[in-house]
Amino acid sequence: MSDRYLIIDNVNKIFHSKKTATHVLDSINLTVKRGEYISIIGHSGCGKSTLLNAVSGLTTATSGYVILDGKEVNAPGPDRALVFQNHSLLPWLSVYENVALAVNKVFGASKSAQERKDWILHNLDMVGMSHALTRLPAEISGGMKQRVGIARALAMQPKLLLLDEPFGALDALTRAHLQEEVMRIQADLNNTVLMITHDVDEAVLLSDRIVMMTNGPRATIGEVLEINLDRPRNRIELASDPLYNEYRRAVLRFLHEKQQKVAPLTPEASENKQSEADQRVSVG
Protein backbone atom coordinates (compact mmCIF):
# COMPACT_ATOMS: atom_id res chain seq x y z
CA MET A 1 0.00 0.00 0.00
CA SER A 2 2.73 2.51 0.91
CA ASP A 3 4.19 2.12 -2.61
CA ARG A 4 0.82 3.25 -3.95
CA TYR A 5 0.10 5.88 -1.29
CA LEU A 6 -1.21 8.40 -3.80
CA ILE A 7 -2.71 7.19 -7.05
CA ILE A 8 -3.66 9.57 -9.83
CA ASP A 9 -5.53 7.32 -12.20
CA ASN A 10 -6.30 8.46 -15.73
CA VAL A 11 -7.31 11.98 -14.68
CA ASN A 12 -8.82 14.23 -17.34
CA LYS A 13 -9.99 17.77 -16.77
CA ILE A 14 -12.14 19.72 -19.19
CA PHE A 15 -13.27 23.25 -18.28
CA HIS A 16 -16.61 24.10 -19.85
CA SER A 17 -17.88 27.60 -20.43
CA LYS A 18 -21.02 28.64 -22.32
CA LYS A 19 -19.31 28.52 -25.69
CA THR A 20 -16.10 26.56 -25.27
CA ALA A 21 -14.66 23.47 -23.69
CA THR A 22 -10.97 23.48 -22.78
CA HIS A 23 -9.39 20.08 -22.37
CA VAL A 24 -6.61 20.96 -19.92
CA LEU A 25 -5.44 17.60 -18.52
CA ASP A 26 -5.36 14.46 -20.59
CA SER A 27 -4.93 11.00 -19.07
CA ILE A 28 -2.69 11.85 -16.13
CA ASN A 29 -1.37 8.71 -14.44
CA LEU A 30 1.00 8.83 -11.49
CA THR A 31 1.65 6.69 -8.44
CA VAL A 32 3.51 8.18 -5.49
CA LYS A 33 5.14 6.31 -2.62
CA ARG A 34 4.67 7.35 0.98
CA GLY A 35 7.47 9.77 1.88
CA GLU A 36 8.32 10.65 -1.71
CA TYR A 37 9.09 14.23 -2.74
CA ILE A 38 7.73 14.87 -6.22
CA SER A 39 8.16 18.05 -8.24
CA ILE A 40 5.91 18.95 -11.12
CA ILE A 41 7.45 21.14 -13.77
CA GLY A 42 6.09 22.39 -17.09
CA HIS A 43 5.51 25.56 -19.05
CA SER A 44 3.17 28.22 -17.75
CA GLY A 45 -0.48 27.42 -18.34
CA CYS A 46 0.01 23.71 -19.04
CA GLY A 47 -2.17 22.62 -16.12
CA LYS A 48 0.09 22.09 -13.10
CA SER A 49 -2.18 23.94 -10.66
CA THR A 50 -5.22 22.22 -12.12
CA LEU A 51 -3.57 18.89 -11.36
CA LEU A 52 -2.66 19.96 -7.82
CA ASN A 53 -6.20 21.21 -7.30
CA ALA A 54 -7.58 17.87 -8.46
CA VAL A 55 -5.39 16.16 -5.85
CA SER A 56 -6.40 18.66 -3.16
CA GLY A 57 -10.09 18.18 -3.99
CA LEU A 58 -10.61 21.86 -4.86
CA THR A 59 -11.31 20.78 -8.46
CA THR A 60 -13.09 17.61 -9.48
CA ALA A 61 -11.60 15.61 -12.33
CA THR A 62 -13.88 15.33 -15.35
CA SER A 63 -12.94 11.65 -15.44
CA GLY A 64 -10.48 9.48 -13.59
CA TYR A 65 -9.68 9.19 -9.89
CA VAL A 66 -7.38 10.43 -7.19
CA ILE A 67 -6.88 7.95 -4.36
CA LEU A 68 -4.92 8.85 -1.22
CA ASP A 69 -4.07 6.13 1.27
CA GLY A 70 -6.84 3.91 -0.08
CA LYS A 71 -9.57 6.60 -0.09
CA GLU A 72 -10.92 8.41 -3.10
CA VAL A 73 -10.47 12.19 -3.01
CA ASN A 74 -13.53 14.15 -4.01
CA ALA A 75 -13.46 17.19 -1.68
CA PRO A 76 -10.83 19.18 0.19
CA GLY A 77 -9.80 17.70 3.54
CA PRO A 78 -7.29 18.24 6.35
CA ASP A 79 -5.27 15.21 5.19
CA ARG A 80 -4.04 17.39 2.29
CA ALA A 81 -2.43 20.71 3.25
CA LEU A 82 -1.82 23.35 0.60
CA VAL A 83 0.83 26.06 0.57
CA PHE A 84 0.52 28.66 -2.17
CA GLN A 85 3.01 31.09 -3.63
CA ASN A 86 1.00 34.00 -2.29
CA HIS A 87 0.86 33.16 1.35
CA SER A 88 -2.70 32.79 2.46
CA LEU A 89 -2.43 33.85 6.09
CA LEU A 90 -5.40 35.58 7.67
CA PRO A 91 -4.26 39.20 8.00
CA TRP A 92 -6.12 39.92 11.26
CA LEU A 93 -4.57 36.98 13.13
CA SER A 94 -1.06 36.85 14.57
CA VAL A 95 1.57 34.32 13.45
CA TYR A 96 0.67 32.10 16.43
CA GLU A 97 -3.07 32.45 15.86
CA ASN A 98 -2.80 31.59 12.17
CA VAL A 99 -1.23 28.25 13.03
CA ALA A 100 -3.53 27.78 16.03
CA LEU A 101 -6.60 28.07 13.83
CA ALA A 102 -5.54 25.05 11.77
CA VAL A 103 -4.31 23.07 14.77
CA ASN A 104 -7.52 23.62 16.76
CA LYS A 105 -9.57 22.56 13.75
CA VAL A 106 -7.63 19.35 13.20
CA PHE A 107 -6.74 18.40 16.79
CA GLY A 108 -9.39 20.23 18.83
CA ALA A 109 -10.94 16.97 19.90
CA SER A 110 -7.85 14.80 20.22
CA LYS A 111 -5.24 16.98 21.97
CA SER A 112 -5.55 18.98 25.20
CA ALA A 113 -5.18 22.79 25.14
CA GLN A 114 -1.62 22.47 26.48
CA GLU A 115 -0.71 19.81 23.92
CA ARG A 116 -2.05 21.99 21.12
CA LYS A 117 -0.10 24.99 22.36
CA ASP A 118 3.12 22.97 22.53
CA TRP A 119 2.45 21.60 19.05
CA ILE A 120 1.90 25.09 17.57
CA LEU A 121 5.11 26.35 19.19
CA HIS A 122 7.03 23.28 18.03
CA ASN A 123 6.00 23.79 14.41
CA LEU A 124 6.76 27.50 14.45
CA ASP A 125 10.11 26.70 16.01
CA MET A 126 10.83 24.20 13.23
CA VAL A 127 10.61 26.97 10.62
CA GLY A 128 12.50 29.49 12.78
CA MET A 129 9.53 31.73 13.60
CA SER A 130 9.42 31.48 17.40
CA HIS A 131 10.61 35.06 17.70
CA ALA A 132 7.56 36.55 15.96
CA LEU A 133 4.57 34.79 17.54
CA THR A 134 2.54 37.93 18.19
CA ARG A 135 3.27 39.71 14.92
CA LEU A 136 0.59 40.20 12.29
CA PRO A 137 1.25 39.05 8.70
CA ALA A 138 1.61 42.68 7.58
CA GLU A 139 4.49 43.08 10.06
CA ILE A 140 6.66 40.25 8.72
CA SER A 141 8.55 39.70 5.43
CA GLY A 142 7.38 37.57 2.49
CA GLY A 143 9.83 34.80 3.40
CA MET A 144 8.57 34.79 6.99
CA LYS A 145 4.96 34.59 5.82
CA GLN A 146 5.88 31.63 3.68
CA ARG A 147 7.53 30.00 6.71
CA VAL A 148 4.36 30.44 8.74
CA GLY A 149 2.35 28.95 5.87
CA ILE A 150 4.66 25.93 5.86
CA ALA A 151 4.45 25.62 9.67
CA ARG A 152 0.67 25.76 9.47
CA ALA A 153 0.62 23.04 6.80
CA LEU A 154 3.07 20.81 8.72
CA ALA A 155 1.17 21.30 11.97
CA MET A 156 -1.87 19.67 10.40
CA GLN A 157 0.19 16.49 9.95
CA PRO A 158 -1.32 15.99 6.53
CA LYS A 159 -0.93 12.76 4.59
CA LEU A 160 0.04 14.90 1.65
CA LEU A 161 1.72 18.28 1.47
CA LEU A 162 0.78 20.20 -1.68
CA LEU A 163 3.11 23.08 -2.50
CA ASP A 164 2.15 25.39 -5.37
CA GLU A 165 5.33 27.33 -6.19
CA PRO A 166 5.95 27.89 -2.48
CA PHE A 167 9.16 29.87 -3.01
CA GLY A 168 8.20 31.53 -6.30
CA ALA A 169 7.75 35.04 -4.96
CA LEU A 170 10.92 35.13 -2.85
CA ASP A 171 14.33 36.59 -3.57
CA ALA A 172 17.09 34.10 -4.40
CA LEU A 173 18.74 34.07 -0.95
CA THR A 174 15.51 33.67 1.01
CA ARG A 175 14.43 31.01 -1.45
CA ALA A 176 17.67 29.06 -0.95
CA HIS A 177 17.33 29.37 2.82
CA LEU A 178 13.78 28.04 2.81
CA GLN A 179 14.72 25.20 0.47
CA GLU A 180 17.36 24.16 3.01
CA GLU A 181 14.75 24.25 5.77
CA VAL A 182 12.30 22.20 3.78
CA MET A 183 15.03 19.60 3.10
CA ARG A 184 15.90 19.46 6.79
CA ILE A 185 12.27 19.12 7.84
CA GLN A 186 11.72 16.53 5.12
CA ALA A 187 14.65 14.47 6.46
CA ASP A 188 13.01 14.52 9.92
CA LEU A 189 9.36 14.01 9.02
CA ASN A 190 9.46 12.14 5.71
CA ASN A 191 6.36 13.87 4.36
CA THR A 192 4.80 12.92 1.07
CA VAL A 193 5.05 16.04 -1.06
CA LEU A 194 3.78 17.23 -4.45
CA MET A 195 5.42 20.54 -5.35
CA ILE A 196 4.91 22.71 -8.41
CA THR A 197 7.95 24.69 -9.43
CA HIS A 198 9.33 26.58 -12.41
CA ASP A 199 12.86 26.36 -11.06
CA VAL A 200 14.93 23.51 -12.51
CA ASP A 201 17.60 23.66 -9.77
CA GLU A 202 14.97 23.64 -7.06
CA ALA A 203 13.31 20.60 -8.63
CA VAL A 204 16.56 18.62 -8.83
CA LEU A 205 17.75 19.69 -5.38
CA LEU A 206 14.57 18.77 -3.50
CA SER A 207 12.98 15.89 -5.38
CA ASP A 208 13.04 12.14 -5.50
CA ARG A 209 11.30 12.35 -8.87
CA ILE A 210 10.51 15.15 -11.28
CA VAL A 211 7.30 14.91 -13.25
CA MET A 212 7.56 16.86 -16.50
CA MET A 213 4.33 17.96 -18.13
CA THR A 214 3.80 18.53 -21.82
CA ASN A 215 2.36 21.80 -23.09
CA GLY A 216 -1.37 22.29 -23.05
CA PRO A 217 -4.06 22.04 -24.11
CA ARG A 218 -4.45 18.34 -23.36
CA ALA A 219 -1.34 18.36 -21.24
CA THR A 220 -0.12 15.06 -19.93
CA ILE A 221 2.95 13.66 -18.22
CA GLY A 222 5.75 13.69 -20.78
CA GLU A 223 8.61 12.23 -18.76
CA VAL A 224 9.38 11.30 -15.18
CA LEU A 225 12.97 11.69 -14.03
CA GLU A 226 14.22 9.81 -10.99
CA ILE A 227 16.79 11.79 -8.97
CA ASN A 228 19.25 9.37 -7.44
CA LEU A 229 21.35 11.82 -5.43
CA ASP A 230 22.30 10.95 -1.86
CA ARG A 231 20.75 12.93 0.98
CA PRO A 232 21.46 15.21 2.74
CA ARG A 233 22.11 17.26 -0.39
CA ASN A 234 24.44 20.20 -0.45
CA ARG A 235 23.82 22.75 -3.19
CA ILE A 236 27.44 23.91 -3.34
CA GLU A 237 28.82 20.38 -3.72
CA LEU A 238 26.10 19.46 -6.20
CA ALA A 239 26.99 22.39 -8.44
CA SER A 240 30.06 20.43 -9.58
CA ASP A 241 28.50 16.97 -9.43
CA PRO A 242 28.25 15.46 -12.96
CA LEU A 243 25.11 13.50 -12.11
CA TYR A 244 23.35 16.61 -10.76
CA ASN A 245 24.24 18.47 -13.92
CA GLU A 246 23.05 15.56 -16.04
CA TYR A 247 19.63 15.72 -14.30
CA ARG A 248 19.51 19.47 -14.79
CA ARG A 249 20.25 19.12 -18.48
CA ALA A 250 17.58 16.42 -18.85
CA VAL A 251 14.93 18.77 -17.44
CA LEU A 252 16.17 21.73 -19.48
CA ARG A 253 16.16 19.61 -22.65
CA PHE A 254 12.60 18.55 -21.96
CA LEU A 255 11.43 22.13 -21.39
CA HIS A 256 13.40 23.94 -24.04
CA GLU A 257 13.86 21.39 -26.81
CA LYS A 258 11.07 18.85 -26.56
CA GLN A 259 8.38 21.21 -25.22
CA GLN A 260 9.28 24.59 -26.66
CA LYS A 261 6.75 27.11 -25.43
CA VAL A 262 6.74 29.28 -28.53
CA ALA A 263 5.39 27.46 -31.57
CA PRO A 264 7.63 27.79 -34.66
CA LEU A 265 6.39 30.49 -37.02
CA THR A 266 4.46 29.35 -40.07
CA PRO A 267 5.72 30.86 -43.39
CA GLU A 268 2.63 33.13 -43.40
CA ALA A 269 3.16 34.34 -39.84
CA SER A 270 6.81 34.80 -40.61
CA GLU A 271 5.95 37.06 -43.60
CA ASN A 272 3.62 39.16 -41.43
CA LYS A 273 6.35 39.54 -38.84
CA GLN A 274 8.78 40.64 -41.56
CA SER A 275 6.37 43.25 -42.90
CA GLU A 276 5.74 44.54 -39.35
CA ALA A 277 9.48 44.84 -38.89
CA ASP A 278 9.83 46.60 -42.25
CA GLN A 279 7.13 49.07 -41.22
CA ARG A 280 8.88 49.78 -37.94
CA VAL A 281 12.08 50.44 -39.82
CA SER A 282 10.42 52.76 -42.32
CA VAL A 283 8.56 54.69 -39.59
CA GLY A 284 11.68 54.98 -37.46
Q: Residues interacting with ligand ATP, by CB under 6 A? A: 15, 22, 24, 42, 44-50, 216
Query: Which C-beta is closer to ligand ATP: that of 15 or that of 65?
Result: 15
Q: How far is the CB of 208 from ligand ATP (least distance, A)?
A: 21
Q: % helix / strand / coil in the chain, to the nearest 5?
A: 45, 20, 35
Q: How far is the CB of 242 from ligand ATP (least distance, A)?
A: 30
CB-CB contact of 211 with 41 (8 Å): yes
123 has which bridge partners? none
Query: Which C-beta is closer to ligand ATP: that of 123 or that of 215?
Result: 215
Cα 240 from chain centre = 26
Q: How far apart are CA 25 and CA 48, in angstroms?
A: 9
Query: Which C-beta is closer to ligand ATP: that of 151 or that of 164?
Result: 164
Q: How far apart are CA 167 and CA 177, in angstroms?
A: 10
235 phi/psi in degrees, rounded to 5: -60, -35
Q: How far apart are CA 73 and CA 82, in angstroms?
A: 15
Q: How far apart are CA 214 and CA 26, in angstroms?
A: 10
DSSP string across 235-278: HHHHTT-HHHHHHHHHHHHIIIIIT-SSPPPPHHHHHHHHHHHH
Q: How far is the CB of 272 from ligand ATP (least distance, A)?
A: 25
Query: Which C-beta is closer to ligand ATP: that of 2 or that of 22?
Result: 22
Q: How far is the CB of 222 from ligand ATP (least distance, A)?
A: 13
Q: How far is the CB of 264 from ligand ATP (least distance, A)?
A: 21
Q: How far is the CB of 50 from ligand ATP (least distance, A)?
A: 3
Query: Which C-beta is closer to ligand ATP: that of 45 or that of 128?
Result: 45
**Terminal-to-terminal C-alpha distance of the chain:** 68
Query: Which C-beta is closer to ligand ATP: that of 151 or that of 219?
Result: 219
Query: Which C-beta is closer to ligand ATP: that of 47 or that of 137?
Result: 47
Left (φ > 0), alpha (ψ -120 to 50) or beta: where does 43 sit? beta
CB-CB contact of 213 with 57 (8 Å): no
Q: How far is the CB of 284 from ligand ATP (least distance, A)?
A: 34
Q: How far is the CB of 140 from ligand ATP (least distance, A)?
A: 25
Query: Which C-beta is closer to ligand ATP: that of 24 or that of 129?
Result: 24
